[in-house]
Structure 1
Amino acid sequence: MSSDDKLRQLAQECGIHLGYDAWDGSHQTTSPPTLKALLRALGVEVDTENAIGEELRARCSKRAARTLPVEQVVLAEEPFKFALLQPCEWYLLDGQGHEIQAGRSDVSLTLKPLPVGYFTLVARGPDHCEEVFLLSRPAHAPTIADLTGLQQAWGVSGAIYSLQSRTNGGLGNYADLGQAMSSMGQSGATYFGINPVHALGWAAQDTISPYSPSHRGFLNIDHIATDAGFETETNDGLIDYAAFRKQHRAALEADYARFCRNATTAERGKFEAFCKAEGPELTRFATFESISETHGSDFRNWPSQLRKHEETAPKPRDGFHAWLQWKASNQVEAAQLCAAQSGMALGLYLDLAVGARPGGAEVWMHQDLIARGVSIGAPPDQLSPAGQSWTLAAYAPNKLSENRYEPLRTLLRKLMTQAGIIRIDHVLGLTRSYWVPEDGSPGAYISQPFDALLAVVAIEAWRNRCCVVGEDLGLVPTGFRERLNASGLYSYAVWQYEGTPDGALRSAQDLRPFTMACFGTHDTPTIRGFWRGRDIEWWRSIGWLSTGRAMELHSARAIQRNSLRQHCSIPANATLDDVSHAIHRELGKSPAELVTVQLDDLLGGEQTQNLPGTINEHPNWRRPTAKDIEAFARIQSLIKTSTSMGPKRNPNAVLQEKEVDPCL
């Protein structure tokens, strides 16, 4: 066997794909330099031919020596049988290490039905002892019907940072969120979806993208409502993060100083209970934040003795950063309570970002599980011929499995306790990820433990009574969506992407039932922007399109508009308000179980919140809402949209005049 053959076989043993079918129909073969880069990312030694051969032999021998799988997904409340190669004595431990079953088996080992959760099977034979990690998953994650009794529902999506109020300083906060959800809940909305509110990091002063977090398991402190409000001037009508943060950070410091001086015994007890419940994760995160104040937001540039959390002692400012998380957590919980009191059955709909920044807290805290020298990204396509590197860290699947998915379990658990729905961004990453090596080698795909990851999502969703939406846009592998839906995860349908071969848009009646449907997202044009081709003009203005190509796209957009006129019965003289309402009305009549309308569409917005692929060319993540939250309850488009959603989605949408809302 040649050295390249050994390299390819080792790569396959580790789940690395030897090639993939590109967007243009060609087949891309994974080069030896890429294979080596991805193997190094997994912690595999490949520097010499001998090392490759030894790694291959060791892995093949280890696999052949196993008599039972390393991990096994089982269906909760159903018995499960393992075939045995030799007799063994065995016992089963629950998540707390308590023995709950035991026995001796010869030809097969049968487990009694298990509840939903995680377990460890230990089997001892004459000359071996093996452990099997068991993931006992529910038949499916909770559905809308399970949680609300509704067969169909609707909600609104927006950006928390864009919410405007008289005292929030220009950047939306968690108190604003509660007030906004209260208005929407009284109008019949079942949920309100916002951008990720993961921690960006105290020292990451230039980071504004919610999809570039420092740690996905902690909250963004930019959205904490301070004890005293303040005002910040906008910059050309856009959110000025630098000016806001300067005043907001000072206000947070003042609030903490008052807490330290004046907090009651009960308040201190609640804070201490929070820290105890959060445990070592919060301690390490707070220490990261403290160090970052002195040495910057990227731990890779810190002094060597600080780069590993195991070697780092607590810092004086840790208490402040832990208090910020307590404050944020309390305010998110209060916002969810406001939603519930308004009749909003699910309340918060939160986004889980694809990954964390390579130099941020999440990577610092879990370095042993992170793939080294690669970033999550996407292969070349028609818009990005060179491919994309998202500059986000990836967990190494082999190491994540060895650690029994603990970071993912913890992260999902925390997110799901805060929300009624979560959306997993780029859910295709549960089955395979595209890794881009930092050494300049082309990217390639690596398989993920799909069954186990899907089981973890279902288990945590079931435990926390939370619905899950998987953002499954793009090139979806055969059978992937079906398995996703069978596990209770909703698909995601963006109507302006639902095209037909002749360039038109499909009827909303053709949307898949087990889906969250919307017309657009923060990454696409709003309805008004779509109708006027604002996205095409942005692409042309920044040099992505020639004038000729832009005209071709405008012609293609005209075909899409005509199909929408037909599907939605839009007359030729319709105003843009009429167009928006007609599209929402048609979505409401679709078979999709969930329908989401954008807040920007309800408020008449024309520009998108984010133009993918840009940083400075477009004012991403900086557009405020057109109206203050105090006016949301009086927005006629919200009331009109609620009515058009129909009785199936809106059975309790009865506005009670003169009723005082405690959250306003």
Structure 2
Amino acid sequence: MNAQDDKLRALAQAHGIHLEFHDLHGHRHVASPDTLKALLTALGVDIETQRDIDDALTQCTATPPSEKIVFAGQSAVVPTPFPCTWSLLDDAGRVVCDGRAEDQIPLPALKVGYFNLHIKNADGHARILILSRPHRAPDLASRCTARACWGSTGALYGLRSSSNGGLGNYADLGKTTQTLGRFGAQFFGINPVHALGWAMDTIISPYSPSHRGMFNTDHIATSQSLGPTPNDRCVDYSEFRKKHRPRLEQDYQAFKTSGARSTFEAWKAACGQDVHHFAQFEAISETHGYDFRTWPTALRSPGTAVVKAAGPRADFHLWLQWRASAQIHAAQRDAKHSGMALGLYLDLAVGPRPEGAEVWMNAATIAKGVTIGAPPDHLSPEGQSWALAAHAPGPLAKAQYAPLRLMLRRLMQTCGLLRIDHALGLLRSYWLPDDGSPGGYIKQPFDSLLAVILIEAHQTGCSVVGEDLGLVPNGFRDTMNSAGLYSYAVWQFETNDAGEIHSAAALPRFSLACFGTHDTPTLQGFWHGTDIDWWQKVGWLNDIDRLKRHAYRSRQRQSLRSVCGLRPDASAAEVSSHIHSALAQSPAALVSVQMDDIFGEVEAQNLPGTIDAHPNWRRRLPIAVEDMGQNAALRDVAQTMNMHRQLHPSTDDTDDPKEVSA
């Protein structure tokens, strides 16, 4: 390694690029010079020449801090290297306090929120973002003085009904929460409902959105019935949209002559500029296609040319967002009225598609020439390329985290519980260069991102789950838990080195525990090794590897029999009953039961690492929402859960996550 490589590595390290990492199997991966250069370029660092690298190294040490995190309700001081005058402004631009300082600025105890500290002297002006965060996010005990509860999760697109025409909608969501609430569930979780894009008719994955702060219009319930859900087990999105979209157009035309126009206009005035930009993007995409990178140059970022090109059609897409937002809020009201303490449990995807609206609207903060992925792990032995864009840490901080703040606020206002998918991405993110260089990890501003999440959670009263699966660094879960974020415990992954599954009694207390997720085999699929057979079917395993994995699964089944008291010849119903009973009695604060498991489904919703090789994001539930209230399987699971997880008030201090193991 020469001196130039040493400087490149030093520059990469200064910008938070990991010089090496160990994968799930303990193998060490050293970042190559090509990887370092690609990632530095993605971060916006100019490294074209050696002098550029030298200058960038010098600049790293000369850059003053641009933000400070404080705890709300506590005074703090901000050091200043020179005498100055200063003023502290709140997020609305109002002066909170001001003064003169020689070497440090005293900040008063602030409320939760964002503030800007402006510092001036004869040489210039500086601005420091003050993130005044609460100590903890709202948790179950603070929401309803309870120690434990349960809920269910399911695919919104997979809900059947007498009128949705083929795809579950927000009205079905409200009906489902009402049924579950009457059965004693305290939340209902669904796949992300981010906007996929009107002009994008091939993407169906809820985890590949166009914009994470806008809502999926495919789930809008129309004014008139589209007919019952077809009997097919899988959704045909194309056929559904052929029925659904013309009806939305008809509803819009009828709306324009109705008396609700004033309500819509008031919403438009208050919804935020980002929603207007999104509607303009959608309108232009109908003419120029879903990928803004192919649009005429003048339209590749928001501006006057975009407003003109979008024309009155943007109003239609604003109306769609208004309608979707109203229906999601109605579903949350239905959930709360049914007795749910938390109601909707929504999901925040890792990132947006590179060609979509979120990237178009936030070009200044998006990392260039990379996408997000994951190295090989237990979900995908080949590793994963998610083909999602990433916000670059430095530019995002310079924008005072505005894209994240707006996105979180809009989601948290509609739900009682939000899951942050791949929460490890708050600490580090795995980026794959577009030029084919090996991927590498980028350090994220964890403390700042956590502060933003806590501020938004506090202001909306929303509880948060951090999906912390995978290679979790020491202390990460403790930090999340102490801040009031629940861990995510998937029981089928809780094993010892021999692969034997631990007792449910060992599940972490301050967590949301479940047997599986949309990315894992269902309970029955796990029991029969369906996922292993799929891995062979898509070419990831040969016959020998398949047999080895089935042998390993056999040991896992035996360990579950042991910890759940199951007979070797137990029926599928008995397996399900015992596993759900063990989950119900676990110490986990939140327990989630998948609808697929309640109704005995074998196939999973998603096989990570595949697109068309497996029917991802298409599988429907076998039961219609109108029939769930009379379903014996749902009633039995609810009885099991309620027996052990009623909302008993918390009377001691053992719910404090700092007092329990994470």
TM-score (norm 1): 0.94
Residue 41 of structure 1 deviates from its aligned partner by 1.1
Asked whether the equivalents of residues 232 and 243 of structure 1 are also in contact (C-alpha less than 8 Å), the reply is no
Residue 233 of structure 1 deviates from its aligned partner by 7.5
3-state SS, counterpart of residue 413 of structure 2: helix
Asked whether the equivalents of residues 353 and 425 of structure 1 are also in contact (C-alpha less than 8 Å), the reply is yes
Residue 647 of structure 1 deviates from its aligned partner by 5.1
3-state SS, counterpart of residue 96 of structure 2: strand
Q: 1:541 to 1:479 in 2, by over 3 A?
A: same
- CA deviation vs aligned residue, 1:487-529 (integer Å, no higher than 9, x gap): 1110000000101122210000001100000000011111111
* In structure 2, distance between residues paired with 1:12 and 1:280: 37
* In structure 2, distance between residues paired with 1:421 and 1:335: 14
- Out of 515, 520, 541, which is 2:516 matched to? 520
User: After the TM superposition, which residues 445-484 of structure 1 pair with which residues of structure 2 at under 5 Å, given as runs?
Assistant: 445-484=441-480
* In structure 2, distance between residues paired with 1:637 and 1:232: 23
- Out of 360, 367, 380, which is 2:363 matched to? 367
Amino acid aligned to 1:490: Y
Worse-matched range after superposition: 393-402 or 613-622:
613-622
Match in the other structure for 1:9: 10
Residue 122 of structure 1 deviates from its aligned partner by 2.0
- CA deviation vs aligned residue, 1:456-511 (integer Å, no higher than 9, x gap): 00000010000000000000011111111111110000000101122210000001
Residue 79 of structure 1 deviates from its aligned partner by 1.1
Worse-matched range after superposition: 49-58 or 447-456:
49-58
Q: 1:217 to 1:437 in 2, by over 3 A?
A: same
* In structure 2, distance between residues paired with 1:453 and 1:464: 17
Q: 1:95 to 1:496 in 2, by over 3 A?
A: same
* In structure 2, distance between residues paired with 1:608 and 1:260: 42
Residue 387 of structure 1 deviates from its aligned partner by 3.5
Match in the other structure for 1:137: 133
User: After the TM superposition, which residues 175-186 of structure 1 pair with which residues of structure 2 at under 5 Å, given as runs?
Assistant: 175-186=171-182
Q: 1:233 to 1:104 in 2, by over 3 A?
A: closer
- Out of 267, 270, 287, which is 1:274 matched to? 267
Residue 383 of structure 1 deviates from its aligned partner by 6.8
Answering whether residue 345 of structure 2 is matched by residue 352 of structure 1, we say no
Answering whether residue 151 of structure 2 is matched by residue 155 of structure 1, we say yes
Match in the other structure for 2:390: 394
- Out of 427, 452, 463, which is 2:423 matched to? 427
Residue 8 of structure 1 deviates from its aligned partner by 1.8
* In structure 1, distance between residues paired with 2:256 and 2:85: 57
Return 5+ residue gaps in structure 1 as ranges: 653-664
* In structure 1, distance between residues paired with 2:563 and 2:471: 26
Match in the other structure for 1:413: 409
Answering whether residue 606 of structure 2 is matched by residue 633 of structure 1, we say no
Residue 126 of structure 1 deviates from its aligned partner by 5.4
3-state SS, counterpart of residue 591 of structure 2: strand
Answering whether residue 202 of structure 2 is matched by residue 206 of structure 1, we say yes
Q: 1:533 to 1:26 in 2, by over 3 A?
A: closer
3-state SS, counterpart of residue 74 of structure 1: strand
Amino acid aligned to 1:57: T
Asked whether the equivalents of residues 375 and 437 of structure 1 are also in contact (C-alpha less than 8 Å), the reply is yes
Asked whether the equivalents of residues 531 and 561 of structure 1 are also in contact (C-alpha less than 8 Å), the reply is yes
User: After the TM superposition, which residues 54-69 of structure 1 pair with which residues of structure 2 at under 5 Å, given as runs?
Assistant: 54-60=55-61, 62-63=62-63, 66=64, 69=65
* In structure 2, distance between residues paired with 1:409 and 1:320: 26
Percent of pairs identical after alignment? 52
Asked whether the equivalents of residues 150 and 649 of structure 1 are also in contact (C-alpha less than 8 Å), the reply is no
Amino acid aligned to 1:96: A
3-state SS, counterpart of residue 226 of structure 1: coil
Q: In angstroms, what is the RMSD of aligned CA positions?
A: 1.7
Asked whether the equivalents of residues 162 and 229 of structure 2 are also in contact (C-alpha less than 8 Å), the reply is no
Answering whether residue 584 of structure 2 is matched by residue 588 of structure 1, we say yes
3-state SS, counterpart of residue 142 of structure 2: helix
- CA deviation vs aligned residue, 1:172-200 (integer Å, no higher than 9, x gap): 00000000110000000000000000000
Asked whether the equivalents of residues 209 and 621 of structure 1 are also in contact (C-alpha less than 8 Å), the reply is yes
User: After the TM superposition, which residues 316-327 of structure 1 pair with which residues of structure 2 at under 5 Å, given as runs?
Assistant: 316-327=312-323
Residue 269 of structure 1 deviates from its aligned partner by 1.2
- Out of 438, 445, 452, which is 1:442 matched to? 438
Q: 1:382 to 1:451 in 2, by over 3 A?
A: closer
Match in the other structure for 2:19: 18
- CA deviation vs aligned residue, 1:350-382 (integer Å, no higher than 9, x gap): 000000000001111111110011001112447
- CA deviation vs aligned residue, 1:67-89 (integer Å, no higher than 9, x gap): xx311110110111234444333
Asked whether the equivalents of residues 380 and 608 of structure 2 are also in contact (C-alpha less than 8 Å), the reply is no
3-state SS, counterpart of residue 500 of structure 2: coil
Amino acid aligned to 1:58: Q
Amino acid aligned to 1:18: L
User: After the TM superposition, which residues 9-48 of structure 1 pair with which residues of structure 2 at under 5 Å, given as runs?
Assistant: 9-48=10-49
* In structure 2, distance between residues paired with 1:190 and 1:560: 30
* In structure 1, distance between residues paired with 2:321 and 2:272: 13
- Out of 312, 318, 325, which is 2:306 matched to? 312
Amino acid aligned to 2:330: A
Q: 1:47 to 1:209 in 2, by over 3 A?
A: same
Answering whether residue 575 of structure 2 is matched by residue 579 of structure 1, we say yes
* In structure 1, distance between residues paired with 2:201 and 2:638: 39
Answering whether residue 295 of structure 2 is matched by residue 302 of structure 1, we say yes
Asked whether the equivalents of residues 149 and 647 of structure 2 are also in contact (C-alpha less than 8 Å), the reply is no
Match in the other structure for 1:337: 333
Amino acid aligned to 1:196: P
* In structure 2, distance between residues paired with 1:45 and 1:613: 33
User: After the TM superposition, which residues 551-562 of structure 1 pair with which residues of structure 2 at under 5 Å, given as runs?
Assistant: 551-562=547-558
User: After the TM superposition, which residues 247-258 of structure 1 pair with which residues of structure 2 at under 5 Å, given as runs?
Assistant: 247-258=243-254
- CA deviation vs aligned residue, 1:572-616 (integer Å, no higher than 9, x gap): 332211111111111010110000000111111111011111111
Asked whether the equivalents of residues 521 and 598 of structure 1 are also in contact (C-alpha less than 8 Å), the reply is yes
Match in the other structure for 1:661: none
* In structure 2, distance between residues paired with 1:634 and 1:54: 70
* In structure 2, distance between residues paired with 1:132 and 1:374: 29
Q: 1:381 to 1:123 in 2, by over 3 A?
A: same
* In structure 2, distance between residues paired with 1:339 and 1:443: 43
Amino acid aligned to 1:306: L
* In structure 2, distance between residues paired with 1:350 and 1:146: 19
Answering whether residue 218 of structure 2 is matched by residue 222 of structure 1, we say yes
* In structure 1, distance between residues paired with 2:214 and 2:131: 25
Match in the other structure for 2:602: 606
* In structure 2, distance between residues paired with 1:433 and 1:400: 14
3-state SS, counterpart of residue 645 of structure 1: helix
* In structure 2, distance between residues paired with 1:18 and 1:211: 29
* In structure 1, distance between residues paired with 2:95 and 2:79: 22
Worse-matched range after superposition: 104-113 or 621-630:
104-113
Q: 1:600 to 1:387 in 2, by over 3 A?
A: closer
* In structure 2, distance between residues paired with 1:386 and 1:539: 11
Worse-matched range after superposition: 346-355 or 290-299:
290-299
Asked whether the equivalents of residues 187 and 345 of structure 2 are also in contact (C-alpha less than 8 Å), the reply is yes
User: After the TM superposition, which residues 187-202 of structure 1 pair with which residues of structure 2 at under 5 Å, given as runs?
Assistant: 187-202=183-198
Amino acid aligned to 1:275: K
Residue 541 of structure 1 deviates from its aligned partner by 2.2
- CA deviation vs aligned residue, 1:226-274 (integer Å, no higher than 9, x gap): 111123785953111110011101111111111113x11xx11111111
Worse-matched range after superposition: 597-606 or 312-321:
312-321
Residue 125 of structure 1 deviates from its aligned partner by 4.2
- CA deviation vs aligned residue, 1:185-230 (integer Å, no higher than 9, x gap): 0000000000000000111111110000000011100000111112
Match in the other structure for 1:488: 484
* In structure 1, distance between residues paired with 2:299 and 2:630: 53
* In structure 1, distance between residues paired with 2:225 and 2:382: 46
* In structure 2, distance between residues paired with 1:584 and 1:159: 20
